[in-house]
């Protein structure tokens, strides 16, 4: 009986430690205190068939972080795309099947807007300033990840999907 109690206590302690490392239940990441939910990542995954190579959830999470920062940086420089522009782009690629109640989820619109803005900054004189603002934001933001998605590592391009060292992999 004592062994069962020890196992149960160990499991509770491990769950508590893991939960303490994560931003919270249902949260994929926090960026300067703003939550990106696991539902938003799931919504973004609906765009998978439209990518050349289907993304991993961690890739969508990194894109959502970058999208929000890029939308803000672009707006500050007069470059942007509205949610309506994002919806029009999604309609043009035949993504209507991922609509919910006749509209696209906000996360999906953010990803579409990022795509539009990325194309705009390539030819806009203000494009360099937008990229600089984006890089400054990503370098200084307080970004916390749910370990399920990896860890934020700007040097690795955003997300390091290597398993944490506390996870033993079979060899």
* Closest to 39 in 3D by CA, of 27, 56, 55: 27
CB atoms near residue 83 (< 10 Å): 15
| Distance from C-alpha of 57 to C-alpha of 31, rounded to nearest angstrom | 17
Give the pLDDT of residue 147. 85
CB atoms near residue 138 (< 10 Å): 18
DSSP character string of 24-72: -TTEEEEETTEEEEHHHHHHHHTTGGGSSSPPPHHHHHHHHHHHHHHHH
* Closest to 117 in 3D by CA, of 152, 141, 157, 83: 83
- DSSP assignment, residue 162? S
pLDDT tens per residue across span 33-65:
999 999 999 999 999 999 999 899 999 999 999
For 107, the enclosing helix (H) or strand (E) is helix 106-123
Burial of 58 by CB count in 10 Å (0-12 exposed, 13-18 middle, 19+ buried)?
Answer: buried
91-111 mean pLDDT? 95
Of 158 and 133, the one with more pLDDT = 133
| Distance from C-alpha of 160 to C-alpha of 14, rounded to nearest angstrom | 22
129-142 mean pLDDT? 91
Model pTM above 0.85? no
| Mean of per-residue pLDDT scores for the chain | 82
154-170 mean pLDDT? 65
Give the pLDDT of residue 148. 86
Of 53 and 164, the one with more pLDDT = 53
- DSSP bridge pairs for 145: 29
Give the pLDDT of residue 150. 83
**At 93, is the pLDDT very low, low, confident or very high (cuts 50, 70, 90)?**
very high
- DSSP assignment, residue 125? T
| Distance from C-alpha of 10 to C-alpha of 67, rounded to nearest angstrom | 40
77-85 mean pLDDT? 95
Range with the lowest mean pLDDT among 65-69, 107-111, 133-137, 166-170? 166-170
**Quick check: 17 pLDDT over 50?**
no
**Quick check: 162 pLDDT over 80?**
no
- DSSP bridge pairs for 38: none
């Amino acid at each position: 009986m004592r062994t069962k109690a020890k196992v149960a206590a160990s499991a509770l302690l491990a769950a508590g430690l893991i939960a303490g490392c994560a931003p919270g239940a249902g949260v994929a990441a926090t960026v300067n205190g703003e939550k990106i939910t696991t539902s938003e990542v799931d919504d973004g995954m609906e765009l998978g068939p439209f990518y050349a190579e289907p993304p991993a959830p961690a890739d969508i999470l990194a894109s959502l972080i970058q999208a929000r920062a890029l939308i803000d940086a672009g707006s500050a420089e007069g470059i942007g795309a509205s949610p309506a522009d994002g919806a029009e782009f999604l309609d043009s690629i035949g993504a209507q099947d991922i609509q919910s109640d006749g509209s696209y989820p906000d996360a999906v619109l953010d990803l579409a807007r990022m795509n539009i803005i990325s194309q705009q900054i390539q030819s806009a004189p203000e494009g360099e300033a937008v990229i600089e603002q984006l890089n400054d934001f990503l370098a200084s933001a307080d970004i916390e990840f749910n370990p399920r998605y990896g860890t934020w590592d700007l040097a690795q391009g955003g997300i390091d999907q290597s398993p944490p060292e506390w996870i033993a992999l079979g060899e």
